[in-house]
Structure 1
Amino acid sequence: MTGAGVSTPSGIPDYRSKNGLYTGHHNAEYYLSHAYLASDPEGFYHYLKENLYYPDAKPNVIHQKMAALTQQGRAGVITQNIDNLYQMAGTKNLVEFHGNLYQIYCTKCGQDVPFQDYLKAPYHNTDQGYLRPKVVLYDEGIAQQNVDRSLKLLRQADLVVICGTSFRVYPFAGLIDYRNSAAKVMVINEEPLQLPFEFEMVQANAVDFFEGVTV
């Protein structure tokens, strides 16, 4: 179960740290809401384009080692991240719980559109329909299939690793309550987490930790 801290070594800012996106923009949650999209679609588009897109970012060792474990059938990944880096790393058994910024569709005709077109303009060149990414905005619901797939992975797991997340965003954080009751929980994070159950806290830089993981 991973969050934005997994992608900061790839040059993508997180949200809630002292240097995160939400620190610099006090209204960030509103700018990332369906209400803002509905009231000012042009403003919404420009905010996303200027603050969330890092198309030159590449997967780092954390993504790569996790992807390798999934390719071996030994793991699955449930991530809050919407930056596409797990996809680029070739991750299997991947649940992008909040969607993916690089999957774009036209709200008028439903057609998928390359993200490169979206970064040029927010309107579909065939029917002028408004384009948007397949991400969950504030005041939108999580896709049921993502909930179901996440619960299935957690019920199958003998070890749950939480990495690079404050673990304060719900319903993502609430998924842990549905884990296999026999599963051990390990947290790999630079900031310690307080969780209401027994777990192993590895307070370390996740890059350093995963560089030492053999797959």
Structure 2
Amino acid sequence: MKKLIVLTGAGISAESGISTFRDQNGLWENHRIEEVATPEAWAKDPEKVLKFYNQRRKQALEVAPNAAHRALTDLERDYDLAVITQNIDNLHERAGTSRVLHLHGEIFKARSTQDPRLVYELDGWELKLGDCCALGSQLRPHIVWFGEEVPMMDQAIDLVQQAELFVIVGTSLAVYPAAGLVQYVDPSVPIYVIDPRQPNLRPTPNMKFILENASTGLQTLRKLINL
């Protein structure tokens, strides 16, 4: 089967009711990103950061995958599909997608502040001060914060270079290095960009823009690729 690689962003989760910060004047649930999503924020006030992500986790449990998530899962019947997501929720997995690479971490996991290789699945939605890893150090959200390296980037680049069809859904392509992944697509590979607001991309001959939201745009995509 042809390799279909899909890059998803906040726009696909927004249709399930998950808030995005870039639609709120740089605020995320009334918080400045610098206050809750940086290593400096964690060092200054870890309790505030934990509380913030506890609320995001609780919210993620209250929503369900939408038609766009299900549409991607349906594509597995006809393609060798892998999803690279900038989202930290688990909606792709809950919709049934088999291969999901989370560039920016996973909200339902925590990791050791002493050894980042120690990663744990969370049981429930709360992570508190005093919750420790096997080494006795505090657990932190398993999230790639602004200013941190993106450890899954090499794997993502490898997937993109294998693509025989590349689709971008629901992302403004404003956050690097994720936004740079499109540069690794072979020039002969068709690229479809689905977003109601056209991302700031330099158009290329192999690129087509579908100016629709994620769910309707993926329906349009299926018609264009005759499935």
TM-score, normalization: structure 2?
Answer: 0.81
Question: Structure 1: 5+ residue runs without aligned partners?
Answer: none
Q: Which residue, 131, 138, 154 being the options, matches 1:124?
A: 131
In the TM superposition, what whole-angstrom CA distance separates every residue of 1:140-197 from its partner, at most 9, and x where no partner exists? 1111xx2222112211212211111111100000111111221121111111223123
2:85 aligned partner: 79
Structure 1 Cα separation of the partners of residues 128 and 99 of structure 2: 33
Return the alpha-carbon distance in structure 2 between the equivalents of residues 31 and 120 of structure 1.
Answer: 15
Aligned to 2:20: 14
SS, match of residue 95 in structure 1: strand
1:47 is aligned to 2:52? yes
Residues in 1 aligned to 2:79 and 2:180: alpha-carbon distance in whole angstroms? 25
Counterpart CA distance in 2 for 1:211 and 1:120 is: 38
- Confirm or deny: 8 A CA contact 1:14 1:20 kept in the other structure: no
**Deviation at 1:90?**
2.3
Separation of aligned partners in 2, 1:20 and 1:38: 22
Task: Report the AA paired with residue 21 of structure 2.
Answer: Y
Match of 1:162 among 168, 171, 182: 168
Contact 1:71/1:91 (<8 A) preserved: no
User: Which one scores higher on RCO, CA 8 angstroms, separation ≥ 6?
Assistant: 2
Q: Is the 8 A contact 1:13 1:21 kept in 2?
A: no
Aligned Cα RMSD in Å? 2.6
Aligned residues: 211
d(CA) in 2 for partners of 1:95, 1:36: 26
Q: Partner amino acid for 2:47?
A: E
Aligned to 2:8: 2
Query: Is the 2:112–2:132 Cα contact (8 Å) retained in structure 1?
Result: no
> C-alpha separation between the residues in 1 aligned to 2:144 and 2:27?
17
Structure 1 SS opposite 2:193 = strand
Q: Which moved more, 1:123-132 or 1:165-174?
A: 123-132
Percentage of matched positions with identical amino acids = 30
The TM-score with structure 1 as length reference comes to 0.85
Question: Which one of 144, 150, 171 corresponds to residue 136 of structure 1?
Answer: 144
Q: Which structure dedicates a bigger proportion of its chain to strand?
A: 2
CA gap of 1:158–1:96, structure 2 versus 1, over 3 A, is same
CA contact (8 A) 2:172 2:200 kept: no
| Structure 2 portions without partners, runs of 5+ | 1-6
Amino acid at match of 1:40: D
Distance in structure 2 (CA, Å) of the matches to 1:19 and 1:61: 27
